Amino acid sequence: MRISVVGGGYVGLVTSTCLAKLGHSVILIEVDEHKVDAINSGIPFIYEEGLRELLSAHIGKNIIASTSYRDLSSSDFTLICVGTPSLPDGRADLSIIEAASFSIGQCLIDKEGYHVVAVKSTVPPGTTQNLIMPKILSQSGKHENEIGFVMNPEFLREGLAVQDFMKPDRIVIGSSDERAGDTVQSAYCGIDAPILRTGLTAAEMIKYASNAFLASKISFSNEIGNVCKKLGIDVYEVLRGVGMDHRISPHFFNAGLGFGGSCFPKDVSALIRLAEDMDEDPILLRSVVEVNERQPMRIVELLLRRFRDLSGKRVAILGLAFKNDTDDVRESRAIPVIRELLRRGASVVAYDPKAVLSMRNVVPDIEYCEGASQALTDADACLVLTEWPEFGQLDKEFELMRSRVIIDGRRVLSCENVEGICW
């Protein structure tokens, strides 16, 4: 199939590259010229396992990036993959998706034959039906039988996005009519996964509810962990026993510092706002956010039990990315921890295998190191904030510290004499 993808960010780039691997011809439309140039030279502007190899195998053959919408009308269908960031009040900012819908509508004015527009961006339930559809239909001057609409949410985890695309747990296709859904479903031919066909708004809600549930599972494990620590028992042992119940599952039960990233905080906030706008009182979701916001302060409180005053203390931070295997620091739990340490007068030295550059843009005024040993040298304390597996190998390096105060926020260390944030 010929597929146009609008938005060459994280989701758009991974999706385009994987669709090319499935044998489709992909035109990736992205406004940022630098990103387009990088993609066309086969270099992804993000770090993602396996993506670079895949992109360089297909670029110039069956995938091409462009700043122009010109060729969109020659494709069989268009996938919208633009960002839906948070507004200051937590609602989803739909201005980018609105602008993209306008441009897509303009391109479809002269299109002959049927076209499908599928939304992959995470949008509040009702957006495809009430905003995207009317915008594209009015701009193009077409009728609903000439353009079909689909909501096809992504469930890609950063660091595992290529694998998640190729081997998903399920593919959700919400559609305005059967023909539109069939068109998008046929693009996934070759992927062995259950397909769920729904209406447009239900598909949008599936994405929000999935992320809200996963975020709740993390805040739940953290709250149980905080109680377990007071009881002197191991939350990991407890949750292993809980997760053996098939109704619960053992996955996504790692208690620690809480969740960050570009999806969970943004999507849970948007769902809360959506509920409030409809006069609902989402008490559970608000608590999920509250537990998550308090959790980073707990690691600082544990440090204060050891030192009382952090002024002048050298604190080594291991891990800056919001999770391992990514250079992404968006909503990383390391940010509030570092800010609190600085506010209390500590001097912060930080190391991360991939995220030093990105964190420098957010917190420029701390010392960054090229390795864990350098960060640990002469440190009064060490806080582990990201679950990088390589931190599990550290042992002798901790002997470089001035005093051995080590608090693990992610249950990743394997050496002795370490305190856990909630175990």
User: Could you identify the residue written with the tokens 């999935």?
Assistant: 210
Distances (CA, A) of 395 to 25, 58, 159, 169, 321: 50, 43, 26, 38, 22
Q: What is the Cα–Cα distance from 169 to 194, expressed in whole angstroms?
A: 7
Which of these ranges, 81-89, 149-157, 180-188, 395-403, lies near ligand UDX under the rule CB under 6 A?
149-157
Residues in Cβ contact with 309 at an 8 Å cutoff, skipping those fewer than 6 apart: 344, 345
Question: Shortest approach of ligand UDX to residue 31 CB, angstroms?
Answer: 23
The edge-to-edge listing of strands for the beta sheet with 171-175 is 63-66, 25-29, 2-6, 77-80, 115-119, 147-151, 171-175, 195-198
Residue 255 has, within 13 A of its CA and on its CB side, a CA count of: 25
Q: Does residue 56 contact residue 42 with C-beta atoms inside 8 Å?
A: yes
Q: Does residue 315 contact residue 381 with C-beta atoms inside 8 Å?
A: yes
Q: Which is nearer to ligand UDX, 30 or 387 (CB)?
A: 387
Question: Shortest approach of ligand UDX to residue 147 CB, angstroms?
Answer: 27
Residues 298-327 that bind ligand UDX (CB under 6 A): 322-323
Nearest to 22 by CA among 79, 66, 71, 69: 79
Q: Which is nearer to ligand UDX, 176 or 358 (CB)?
A: 358
Residues 58-117 that bind ligand UDX (CB under 6 A): none
Token pair for 397: 């390096």
Q: What is the Cα–Cα distance from 387 to 401, expressed in whole angstroms?
A: 21
Question: Shortest approach of ligand UDX to residue 260 CB, angstroms?
Answer: 4
**Burial (CB count <10 Å: 0-12, 13-18, 19+), residue 3:** buried
Our finding on whether 205 is near ligand UDX (CB under 6 A) is: no
Q: Does residue 282 contact residue 322 with C-beta atoms inside 8 Å?
A: no
Among the listed residues 81, 107, 263, 422, the single catalytic one is 263
Clarify whether 263 is annotated catalytic: yes
Question: Shortest approach of ligand UDX to residue 283 CB, angstroms?
Answer: 22
Q: Which is nearer to ligand UDX, 21 or 333 (CB)?
A: 333
Residues 210-239 that bind ligand UDX (CB under 6 A): 211, 214, 218
Our finding on whether 165 is near ligand UDX (CB under 6 A) is: no
Helices (H), 59-177: 95-107, 127, 133-140, 161-166
Which one among 33, 70, 138, 157 touches ligand UDX, defined by CB under 6 A? 157
Residues 237-266 that bind ligand UDX (CB under 6 A): 252-254, 256, 258-261, 263-264
Our finding on whether 10 is near ligand UDX (CB under 6 A) is: no
Which of these ranges, 72-80, 124-132, 153-161, 411-419, lies near ligand UDX under the rule CB under 6 A?
153-161
Which one among 30, 48, 76, 158 touches ligand UDX, defined by CB under 6 A? 158
Question: Shortest approach of ligand UDX to residue 251 CB, angstroms?
Answer: 7
Q: Which is nearer to ligand UDX, 195 or 214 (CB)?
A: 214
Which of these ranges, 53-61, 136-144, 154-162, 363-371, lies near ligand UDX under the rule CB under 6 A?
154-162
Which one among 156, 239, 341, 355 touches ligand UDX, defined by CB under 6 A? 156
Torsion sign, CA atoms 224, 230, 231, 236 = positive
Q: Does residue 296 contact residue 363 with C-beta atoms inside 8 Å?
A: no
User: Could you say which DSSP state residue 409 is in?
Assistant: S
Q: Which is nearer to ligand UDX, 288 or 366 (CB)?
A: 288
Question: Shortest approach of ligand UDX to residue 300 CB, angstroms?
Answer: 17
Question: Shortest approach of ligand UDX to residue 179 CB, angstroms?
Answer: 27
Q: Which is nearer to ligand UDX, 105 or 261 (CB)?
A: 261
Token pair for 171: 């593919």
Give the residues lining the site for ligand UDX (CB under 6 A): 154-158, 211, 214, 218, 252-254, 256, 258-261, 263-264, 322-323
Active-site positions read 263
